[in-house]
Amino acid sequence: MKISTKMIGIIFLARLLKQVDGKGEISDLESLAKTDAKYTALLKEINATFHNRPTHIKKNAEFEKNFQTVLIALNLSMYDIATKIDTYTDFTVYNQIRVELERKIFKKIQVAERLLKLENLLPKCRTFFGDQQSLLVRGFYQSNLMKLELLHDPSPECENVELQQIFIEPTSTTSKPHNYDIDIVKTLVKYHTRPWGNKTYKEFDEKIWILFMAINSEEQKFKKDALATFNKYDEHRAILDKALAIRIGEFTKQIPNEKNPCKVHLIRLKKELGRAMFAAIKKKHDILVESNYVRSCLNNNRKLYKGTYALN
Ligand SMILES: *[C@@H]1O[C@H](CO)[C@@H](O)[C@H](O)[C@H]1NC(C)=O
Ligand SMILES: *[C@@H]1O[C@H](CO)[C@@H](O)[C@H](O)[C@H]1NC(C)=O
Ligand SMILES: *[C@@H]1O[C@H](CO)[C@@H](O)[C@H](O)[C@H]1NC(C)=O
């Protein structure tokens, strides 16, 4: 990153300074001044945003170092435009990564907090998540590399395992009022998933994350409702996924026997059907409707895809 912006800066400068004599001079100086004004404004904006060191960046030495280079660059003349561009790029890249890592740290702290509130968490995992929580809080003040290391240091016993393995086996629940925590945990276990897991199935992940967060509620009623909401979504999802699978199977069988353009349409639709397996409910529904009826296949005297998925 550093090298390439430096290179761009140098090429840019070379172009600007190519004709220091003759007609080029005034307009080149003008455009140099314009570019300088642009980057100076951008650097000033950084100063304005972070001058008071909001939140935890107060005690972050790496941030401080990057911020000081911005102040130094602000002191430079327009002939140091390459350094200004460089400084701006470096700071922005550093800061974006910092923000993203801090977002992840925040989320991980939340997960630890929620788990620590559960009574049936295994003692060794209670210790682990307790320690992890304080390490993560300290991580806010550390360098991006340290943050990254913190985020990728999973416990082989409490994080890289299926969810049920971090809880004490429920003994007898008959005498107590219904405990929806156990039901929620069962649902999470069913999908061998944890809310900090696979992010490629956005809608599903969001729904299961909401369910996971419901564990934290004080009210059983809230947990019951969260579970009902998730189950309703999940039933609908399962029906659509089954219809998608059937449709994909039908297309797979038919494709070798078809001619273009029908064939190429079926291939495209098959790909989209596959992608819809990990998409939102609406997308699943839409692609099923779209592939119900493939116009270009009408003349080929083959079965139409009608009625395998009932519209609702
Ligand atoms: C940085 O921002 C502060 C507060 O807005 C301002 O007082 C200071 O002059 C700025 N520094 C530079 C170099 O622009
Ligand atoms: C900017 O320049 C002034 C005057 O030359 C100097 O006093 C100040 O320390 C410089 N600031 C930085 C951040 O380099
Ligand atoms: C994540 O999801 C993709 C499908 O979107 C799947 O192929 C992959 O195996 C999953 N990875 C894990 C670790 O579950």
pLDDT digits (tens, 9 = 90+) for 262-288: 999 999 999 999 989 889 999 999 999
Which ligand is closest in space to the CA of residue 76? 2
- Does the predicted model carry a pTM greater than 0.75? no
Structural tokens at position 174 = 């008959």
Q: How far apart are CA 112 and CA 196, in angstroms?
A: 11
Q: What is the mean pLDDT of the chain?
A: 82
Max Cα–Cα distance, the chain, nearest Å: 95
Structural tokens at position 67 = 């911020």
CA dihedral 79, 82, 88, 89 (to 10 degrees): 170
At 157, is the pLDDT very low, low, confident or very high (cuts 50, 70, 90)? confident
Ligand 3 pocket member 252 (CB < 6 A): no
Structural tokens at position 100 = 């993203």
Helix then strand count (H, E) for the chain reads 11, 0
- At position 190, the amino acid (one-letter code) is K
**CA 23 – ligand 2 centroid, Å:** 35
Q: Give Cβ neighbours of residue 246 (< 8 Å, ≥ 6 apart).
A: 308
Q: Which residue has the tokens 């839409």?
A: 286
| More confident of the two residues 100 and 7 | 100
**CA 198 – ligand 3 centroid, Å:** 6
Ligand 3 pocket member 201 (CB < 6 A): yes
Q: What atom of ligand 1 comes closest to residue 44's alpha carbon?
A: 14
